Amino acid sequence: MDDTDTPDVPALLRGCRDAVTPALRAAVARLDTASREQAEYHLGWVEPDGSPGAGGGKAVRPALALLSARAAGAAEEAGIVGGVAVELVHNFSLLHDDLMDGDRERRHRPTVWARWGAPSAILCGDALLALASEVLLEDPSPHAPAAAKLIATTTRELIRGQAEDVAFERRADVGVDECLSMAAGKTGSLLATSAAIGAVLAGAPEHTVRGLSEYGMAVGMAFQLVDDLLGIWGDPAVTGKPVLSDLRSRKKSLPVTYAVQRGGAAGRELAAWLARSGDQSESELRAAAALVEQGGGRAWASAEARRRRDLAERALTGAGLVDGPRAELVALGRYLTDREF
């Protein structure tokens, strides 16, 4: 792609969010009073005092769904219901994850469970998951059932990743491949489906859907690798998290797992440090970060992120995509994975 005509990704994201939001709002408006209030707050549409909210996240998944439809030669409109569905599934998983992880804040606001209690977060998440299926199955597209089936299998993958994450926390011997597979479930699967669902709804041929799905999976994996690097070496001013935050919480992230498993003496020292409990001083956290680096975790994760990003771009070639939206997908992939670390 020629750098001189690089798409403006933030404008692209805003445009896609604006295109999907009315349908998303109409879907959420069907929920029971309590779930609706909680979902509208969680999505950033309403502030705790009832005033209109500043809006939620970047809506990356709806943007992928709309680009997916356009890349397959259909109108953006064909992807809107897919964008609604993937955003609903994403927020179902956030509501349940915040509760399971005990996180009391998201984007500097109390999480739903912290504000309304655990039962509300469970029910509101359940409601959004069921709603994703409902909106798709109401769509007149003859391909809507295939899209709904894709959403169901993706949710199973998402849960597999999350369940493995829960199980891995109790294990000291998690391998790099297991950890990559967990990330493919937790992060990759829904991005893969977001990038494919517009094409599915448009009735695109198999190789087009597959190429878009592979692109989304590879972008998701690259994103996760970069996120894990930022969790150790990211600038708190940029990430919004405390310095060395993933080491502070003893998170078995990808670079940490790599160093422990394949990092020789430094890896063994890191494993021993991880097994010790209690808060650590910043100098100890810095020593642990140095062990991840000596054990090769930083270099491996950086190289792997680059490899997956290249893979994503290659997956779009030969998938029979329309040029303009394909260039936008490339730019969006780079935007998501080119963060500084």
The footprint of a second copy (CB under 8 A) covers: 30-35, 92, 96, 99-100, 117-120, 122-123, 125-127, 129-131, 133-134, 137-138, 144-146, 148-149, 151-153, 155-156, 159-160, 162-164, 166-167
Least separation, in Å, of the C-beta of 274 and a second copy? 21
- Specify the residue, 35 or 224, whose C-beta has the smaller distance to a second copy: 35
DSSP string over 8-65: -HHHHHHHHHHHHHHHHHHHHTTS-HHHHHHHHHHTTSB-TTSSBP---S--HHHHHH
> With contact defined as beta carbons under 8 Å apart, do 178 and 260 qualify?
no
- Specify the residue, 153 or 317, whose C-beta has the smaller distance to a second copy: 153
Q: What's the distance, CA 43 to chain centroid?
A: 15
**Size of the chain, expressed as the number of residues it contains:** 341
Least separation, in Å, of the C-beta of 83 and a second copy? 18
- Specify the residue, 52 or 140, whose C-beta has the smaller distance to a second copy: 140
Amino acid (1-letter code) at residue 56: G
- Specify the residue, 119 or 264, whose C-beta has the smaller distance to a second copy: 119
Q: What's the rounded Cα separation, in Å, for the pair 170 and 48?
A: 36
Least separation, in Å, of the C-beta of 258 and a second copy? 23
- Specify the residue, 37 or 76, whose C-beta has the smaller distance to a second copy: 37
- Residue 242, classed as helix, strand or coil, is coil
Q: What's the distance, CA 320 to chain centroid?
A: 26
Please name every residue paired with 106 in a beta bridge, in sequence order, or none if there are none.
Answer: 109
Least separation, in Å, of the C-beta of 147 and a second copy? 10
Least separation, in Å, of the C-beta of 162 and a second copy? 6
